[in-house]
Structure 1
Amino acid sequence: MNTFKLLASSLRGCRGHDIPLLRQISTTSPVTSLEKTVLHDYHVDQGGKMVEFAGYSMPVQYGKVGIATSHNQVRNHCGMFDVSHMLQSRVHGRDRVKFVESLIVGDIEGLPDNSGTLSLFTNDQGGIIDDLICSKTDLGYLYVVSNAGCKEKDLAHMKQQLASFKAAGGDVELEIIEDHGLVAVQGPEAAKILQPLVEGDINQLYFMQTRELVVAGIPCRVTRCGYTGEDGVEISVPNEKIILKQLKDKPKRRRVGLTCTGPPPRSHCPVLDGDGNQVGEVTSGCPAPSLGKNVAMAYVPANLAKAGTNLTVQVRKKNIPAVVTKMPFVKCNYHIMK
């Protein structure tokens, strides 16, 4: 599975909105003429309300989930943001630090390896062009991320200064990262949610530190930072590893609800098809007093995921008949506005 989809699954349905950028969104241009991030089709498929931001079609909210609810979700728990529209770049060469320090206000030379700083692009008069984060890696390059709203302006400024710097004998090259998306996972529960997907201890990565880490089996650059003011990370991941193939081919397995009687299924109990072949396993299960039976969730092949499909769950070496059942198992009784 891929990084974004696993994170989305870990968030149990929480969907990210580019909250810090909402104040800058307009809808003056038709969405069809806008650029799209690598996750655009995913947003649309999940019911995202797509609007214009910085020349991109971006989700401002999902379904009936309001912006305030999403804001509180990130503040109190965790949320995920598609920030692939931002400008990612690498600066190479012997004089890379000197070049970047000529563009920004910040001591890049004094940074420890694999750490970064929030800084500002400035013009020759000291005026502010844009803010950015510059990280000093131990791999022979600087990693720079700047805002989508100023992408064209930032890029033009960097290229213009690059030409002058090289003409004066400077050894530096600018690489625009166009084959990576950028995903931000933000909130007080971000590390807990991310840890099962990361090789190594995510808590050894501190604020404004950056590492190349394996996330969900995929080499990514992970930086512990973000614009929400909460704990979290930004993950730079290759475009071909996000979710386009899954969107096209559809998932081979689906999460389903199961109901049964007898001993309650527990985590890791095998799920069998009508021929007795194991086709999945239970992720969690328990008695449901309101229903007078047991309930469970499991992952099974997509062709067995239809409600009403008869399966078998093996509980303590006993085969228990089970039925695929729509969730939620018990109707919610919230007092809501009609």
Structure 2
Amino acid sequence: MSDRNSNQDLLRTPLFHLAKEKKARFTAFSGWEMPVQYGGLKLEHQAVRSQAGMFDISHMGKFYLVGNKLVETLQKLVPTDLSRLNPGDAQYTVLLNERAGIIDDVIFYHQGLTETGQQQGILIVNAATTAKDKAWLLSHLKASEVTLEDVSDSALIALQGPHAAEILQSLVAEDLTAMPVFSHRQIKIAGASAFIARTGYTGEDGFEIMLESEAAQKLWQLLFEAGVIPCGLGARDTLRLEAAMSLYGQDIDETTTPLEASLGWLVNLDFKNDFIGRGVLERQKAEGVERRLVGLEMAGRYIARHGYPVIFENQTVGEVTSGTLSPTLGKAIALAYVSRPFSKVGQKLQIEIRGKTYPAMVVKKPFYRSPHK
């Protein structure tokens, strides 16, 4: 169960006190007091890339959905064909508004049928948008057809890295090698029932594990004893950026469409279902988008930060959304929205940093691809 810090009025996850014991540094994030760093960002980042790291992501929103036509009803809110999902499958997708702007990026886990024959599933959403997403879903899902239970108080641990499967296998009886990427199942772990999914936000193999607070605390300790490095939001950000994964509210939001955000693989216009924002996406597909989210690599170690202008021949042609010095690559990398004529791989541009411009080039995404996956 989450509680509030009376001094700062921030929510705390069920694992907060364990992070405190490990001398984590905390920061305010989307209304939560979250660990940003434990032993150091570079150490945590490298642990995930080479071995295994664990993140407390209990702040994420979690909804349990049940209904006779759950998939069919949810299909009207997303541009991705959900009918292809089998029980045990998961799908990354986006909730869209009428302008095809991204309300949130989410993962839907299809859990098959309940004992009474209804479809059931779990929707994981971003912490900052939990209340907004819940209101949007409730306003568009007919209460008579689909019920939504907010289970956001559940704990959620991300175990990520090339050794994640091996470590988790030592704690469970089920054979994890039978779980492909973007699959999920219910298993016993730490003496309790847990929902585990082979998903993540780091570009490495790994699992996201949802369970009750007490069992989550026990699991966290077991993983720590197994040598797993606790990681904070700092490493989570550098890892996801190397993998070119968008951060909601920074790289994508209600003013950006999935086609602009280079998420066209989520848009299934060939499937003749109707969904909110379809008309806008059909026009963009036919006419082309005016801007695209691209990957940039700086020529030097100057870091392109959020909001910095992208320049071509003294003309502003875009804006940086995320940037960092990649711990794995040793290069400054960034994501930016750039006008279509300047968005091709190999395009040379400049980034304005404190009144001066520095060379950058559009590169293929992701910046890093794991050799372990």
* TM-score normalised according to structure 2 size: 0.54
Q: CA deviation at 1:179?
A: 4.2
Partner residue in 2 for 1:131: 105
Q: Secondary structure at the match of 2:166?
A: helix
Partner residue in 1 for 2:169: 195
Deviation string 1:271-295 (CA, Å, 9 cap, x unpaired) is: xxxxxxxxxxxxxxxxxxxxxxxxx
Partner residue in 2 for 1:51: 27
Q: CA deviation at 1:138?
A: 2.3
* Greater length-normalized contact order (CA 8 Å, ≥ 6 residues apart): 2
1:177-256 map, 5 Å: 177-243=151-217
Q: CA deviation at 1:66?
A: 1.6
User: Number of aligned pairs?
Assistant: 214
Deviation string 1:181-214 (CA, Å, 9 cap, x unpaired) is: 1000000000011101012111111100000011
What is the alpha-carbon distance in structure 2 between the residues aligned to residue 131 and residue 51 of structure 1? 23
Partner residue in 1 for 2:61: 87
Residue pair 1:31, 1:50 contacting (<8 A) in 2 also: no
Match 1:100 to one of 52, 63, 74: 74
Correspondence 1:144 to 2:118: no
What is the alpha-carbon distance in structure 2 between the residues aligned to residue 138 and residue 147 of structure 1? 24
Deviation string 1:232-272 (CA, Å, 9 cap, x unpaired) is: 0000111232338x99xxxxxx9xxxxxxxxxxxxxxxxxx
Partner residue in 1 for 2:135: 156
Correspondence 1:120 to 2:60: no
Q: CA deviation at 1:143?
A: 1.1
Deviation string 1:53-109 (CA, Å, 9 cap, x unpaired) is: 1100000111xx221221111011100000000011111010211221122222222
Partner residue in 1 for 2:278: none
1:318-337 map, 5 Å: none
Q: CA deviation at 1:110?
A: 1.5
Deviation string 1:160-190 (CA, Å, 9 cap, x unpaired) is: 223xx34xxx511111114421000000000
Which AA in structure 1 matches 2:66?
H
What is the alpha-carbon distance in structure 1 between the residues aligned to residue 7 and residue 133 of structure 2? 24
Residue pair 2:89, 2:182 contacting (<8 A) in 1 also: yes
What is the alpha-carbon distance in structure 1 between the residues aligned to residue 48 and residue 113 of structure 2? 33
What is the alpha-carbon distance in structure 2 between the residues aligned to residue 92 and residue 119 of structure 1? 19
* TM-score normalised according to structure 1 size: 0.59
What is the alpha-carbon distance in structure 1 between the residues aligned to residue 7 and residue 71 of structure 2? 39
| Backbone CA RMSD of aligned residues | 2.5
Partner residue in 2 for 1:13: none
1:239-278 map, 5 Å: 239-243=213-217
Partner residue in 2 for 1:33: 9
Structure 1 gap ranges (5+): 1-28, 248-253, 255-338
Residue pair 1:225, 1:232 contacting (<8 A) in 2 also: yes
Which AA in structure 1 matches 2:26?
M
Alpha-carbon distance change, 67 to 208 in structure 1, aligned in 2, over 3 angstroms: same
Deviates more, 1:39-48 or 1:151-160: 151-160
Alpha-carbon distance change, 80 to 59 in structure 1, aligned in 2, over 3 angstroms: same
Residue pair 1:108, 1:136 contacting (<8 A) in 2 also: no
Of structures 1 and 2, the larger Rg is shown by 1
Correspondence 1:176 to 2:185: no
What is the alpha-carbon distance in structure 1 between the residues aligned to residue 217 and residue 54 of structure 2? 15
What is the alpha-carbon distance in structure 2 between the residues aligned to residue 30 and residue 71 of structure 1? 32
Residue pair 1:31, 1:57 contacting (<8 A) in 2 also: no
Alpha-carbon distance change, 225 to 31 in structure 1, aligned in 2, over 3 angstroms: farther
Residue pair 1:78, 1:189 contacting (<8 A) in 2 also: yes
Residue pair 2:60, 2:152 contacting (<8 A) in 1 also: no
Structure 2 gap ranges (5+): 115-119, 226-373
